[in-house]
Chain A
Amino acid sequence: MKLFRWLWVVLTLGLLVQGFHVAMFVVPPDSNQGDIQRIFYYHISAWCGMSVFFAVNLIASIAYLVYRNRNHDRAMKADALAISTAEMGVVFCTVGLITGSLWARPVWGIWWTWDERLTSTLVLYLIYVAYLLLRRFAAGPQMQTLAAVMAIFGYADVPIVYMSTRWWRTQHPAPVFFGGPNAGLDPSMYPAVWWNLAGWLAWGIMIVSFRYGVALRDQRKEQQEALRALEVTG
């Protein structure tokens, strides 16, 4: 297991180095935007990472609600996965918002606009920050149940974010994937997209596995402390 972890770390770093090299030095600059378009390779990787980890958070939250009264061990594992993926999703969302803003300033002339894509994404970000704050400042099994329910309702914003550029006329560029006949990238740019997507997803999985281990250990510690307190009062 330890060897597998080290291999995963090496693979991740290799993918990220290759992704950076291809994005900066191999693929051509955009004919309209020039080099500033290269921000896109980190930007889209952040959004894909966010989507994947919020989806896993949804599944883990449902699993927690299913198992909480049936199988305590599985419920705790699901809860540890939920907190780990929510944090990773928020990290990717932060990266996506900042890189988007850094791209928008030279291209649009503004840092931010309240269009449907950007606003729904900011709402999504705030929902998951609220989820993490709830987990940080409340305690006990009720908190875990509340957090799981909140995660399920919070995820409802993800399809709205995804569909926003299809449902409304937004300032945001058309979707790259499944965006229709006039959307997408020049085929020469796809290698940078794939390498960075693979690299950042591998990075996300690696970080989530570390965070999951810490969350499980903290849960066990809390359980032991609760048992000790019961023994003292009993």
Chain B
Amino acid sequence: MNPMFHRHLVLAYAVTWVIQLGYLAYIALKWRSGKS
């Protein structure tokens, strides 16, 4: 397997999780800021 291909696969899965968890963190922050 070409190592560059492998890098792209890991990057795609990592970026997906970073974006989704980032959005979840944004909602959590919004929730906390509205509570105070």
Contact = CB atoms under 8 A, between A and B. Distances in A.
Contacts of A105: 8
A105 B31 CA distance: 39
Given A34-B1, A207-B24, A221-B34, A95 B19 contact: yes
A94 B19 CA distance: 8
A34 B30 contact: no
Nearest to B29: A214
A14 B27 CA distance: 22
Contacts, number: 68
Interface stretch (A39-47, A142-150, A162-170): A39-47
Contacts of B11: 102
Contacts of B9: 35-36, 38-39
Among A34, A38, A46, A102, chain B packs the most CB atoms within 10 A around the CB of A102
B27 A210 contact: yes
Interface string A147-184: 00000000000000000000000000000000000000
A98 B15 CA distance: 8
A221 B12 CA distance: 39
Contacts of A115: none
Contacts of B12: 39, 42-43, 98-99, 102-103
A68 interface: no
B15 A106 contact: no
Nearest to B5: A36
B4 A106 contact: yes
Size range of the interface on A? 20 to 34
A39 to B, nearest CB: 4
A181 B8 CA distance: 30
Contacts of B6: 35-36
Contacts of B23: 87-88, 91, 207
B16 A46 contact: yes
Contacts of A213: 31
A203 B23 CA distance: 12
Nearest to A100: B12
A225 interface: no
Interface of B: 1-2, 4-6, 8-9, 11-13, 15-16, 19-20, 23-24, 27, 30-31, 34
Closest 6 CB pairs of A and B: A36-B5, A39-B12, A102-B12, A99-B12, A102-B8, A91-B23
